[in-house]
A and B are shown apart, each in its own frame.
Chain A
Amino acid sequence: MRRVPLLLAALLLAGPACAIQPGADPVPSVMWEFYRKQWLQDEPYVFDERVRVIAPPFAEDARQVPLQVDARALPGKVQRILVWAELNPIPRVVDFHPGPQVLPWLAVRIRIEQATPLRAAVLTDDGTWHIGSGLIDAAGGGCTAPSVVRSQPGWEERLGQVLGARYPREAFSRVRLDVSHPMDNGLTGGIPEFFIEHAELFDAKGQSLATLELFPAVSENPSLGFDLLNQGATRLVLRDNNGNQFDAAIE
């Protein structure tokens, strides 16, 4: 009889992990469990087709692979989107916290070192991670290729320059941003890590709209796209790991 409370306790402890069946991994890979434990710990998760991870079937340029993450079809409020390329030497791409004025949608360009599964783990306000998956083929070498930016004369003068525009849609507006930065990932000989690690969007009143942590799997001269419900002026603040801060504003 004394075993019953123990058993109950064990069941309760195991509860959250058992409450949801994650389903089958659409792109099984050896690294999935490792990264899941590292970043999602034992929080409940489910493989969810409603999280779309959109990339071309193959990387034409492994240094600049377009990647779109679309979690707009999920019910509930999205709190966080973690994106990674599973077989990359630097797997993590971004850690995105969209506020209520920002749609759970993101466009970014990334580097990949070899053919790899791509993942977007989307945390909704019920505490569940919804895992979107994709797969991309590649000849490889995107992470260890020599820097293109550093081969261009005068790149230091352009450091932190931001090109951008706002494109109004019916219910929201698209903001596109191109930032001049080498995003050195430390994998090319003799060049230490030097990359933008933090981006934050603010509205006209200075209220934070969204934050984005970047990792050096993001391509050189990062290209970013957001969809905002907020229609007014938007300010962007970027910070790199050397302490440089860059400001931009889009009307």
Chain B
Amino acid sequence: MRALLLLLACVSLPSLADLDYRLAPRQIAADTYVLEGSTEHFSRTNGGNIVNTGFIVTEAGVVVIDSGPSLRYGQALRKAIESVTDQPVVQVLLTHHHPDHALGSQAFAGVPVGALPGTTQLLEEQGDGLAENMYRMVGDWMRGTQVRLPDQPVAAGERAFGSHRLRLLALTGHSGADLAVFDEKTGVLFAGDLLFYQRALTTPNTPGLAVWLQDLQRLEALPWKVLVPGHGPLATDRAPFAQMVDYLGWLDKVMRESAAQGLDMTEVIATPIPQRFAGIALSQYELIRSVSHLYPQYERQVLKRVDR
């Protein structure tokens, strides 16, 4: 009996103790590190680590870009930073309000969390619901996680941290309030979720695909050297931009043409994904989501008042 209990303990204990994000900071430019997540969907295996976060070690302290999906992630991120530098964290910047980017902020108590005012508002409105859904999807990884609202409004413009001048861009294409951070010293562009690469983009709060395409033009025009997308591998060429523009254009065309033919949402969802997007993770899944979010707007454009 005792042996059986011991055996059971051995089987069950690691699964509880093993909720470790194993964050390994990778240097991508001078003073600049990225923690690259997987391109999967949220699961109990990945604990929500499907996101790219980063930090810049400046003479004036460490600037963190996005705090991750959970308190546990935020704590792991702090440890990862401490493994690289003794500098204190002086600033957290949130690119937008989505849970995988903004729910680790509790771990940075005492550090100002900056975000666009729109991000703070969206997090206030939707944060608890988003967090609740994260508990449902990734389970115990979320333990103790609560929404910490940003306490510092951020506007477009320049902010200097030591020798790093950060150009902040206030955009809207992905979530309604999207902050992109461009480091003029290193040429690293933290694009947030305005840029996805090899992972299908998500559209829950987009003001429209045309707006998103405009934002991408602005970002691409910056003198960037390294691209850090919100999801997917980093790049030093324009491949992520090309893929985004291609995919957004396709999505827009599918919904426009479907609406013009009076197709039902269930029929649009069944649209086959073109072969050229075969390498993009979760495109079938995200097509279902995007059609749910956006198709009614396309329908309304082709329907006319018929009541008498």
Contact = CB atoms under 8 A, between A and B. Distances in A.
A56 B261 contact: no
Given A54-B266, A247-B308, A60 B288 contact: yes
Interface of A: 54-58, 60-61, 64, 66-68, 107, 109, 139, 160-167, 174, 176-178, 223, 225, 236, 246-250
Given A68-B264, A165-B303, A56 B308 contact: no
A93 B190 CA distance: 47
A107 B266 CA distance: 8
Q: Is the interface of B mostly helix, strand, loop or mixed?
A: helix
Contact of B266 (A61, A67, A160, A176): A67
Contacts of A178: 299-300, 303
A56 B292 contact: yes
Given A58-B288, A60-B289, A60-B292, A109 B303 contact: no
B3 interface: no
Given A162-B305, A165-B262, A246-B307, 8 more contacts: A56-B269, A163-B304, A163-B306, A166-B262, A167-B262, A177-B306, A247-B307, A248-B306
B303 A163 contact: yes
B234 interface: no
Contacts of A177: 306
B306 A176 contact: no
Q: Is the interface of A mostly helix, strand, loop or mixed?
A: strand
A78 B252 CA distance: 37
15 contacts: A55-B266, A56-B292, A66-B266, A66-B292, A68-B267, A139-B136, A163-B305, A164-B303, A164-B306, A167-B261, A176-B303, A178-B300, A225-B264, A247-B307, A247-B308
Contact of A250 (B261, B300, B306): B306
A224 B269 CA distance: 17
B293 interface: yes
A232 to B, nearest CB: 15
Q: What 9 pairs between A and B have smallest CB-CB spacing?
A: A167-B262, A66-B265, A60-B292, A163-B303, A107-B264, A162-B307, A164-B306, A68-B266, A174-B262
B302 interface: yes
B45 interface: no
Given A66-B269, A165-B262, A167-B261, A176 B299 contact: yes
Interface string B275-305: 0000000000000110011001001101111
B266 A139 contact: no
Nearest to B133: A139
Contacts of A67: 266
Given A66-B264, A174-B262, A178-B300, A60 B306 contact: no
Contacts of B267: 68
B26 to A, nearest CB: 33
Nearest to A69: B266
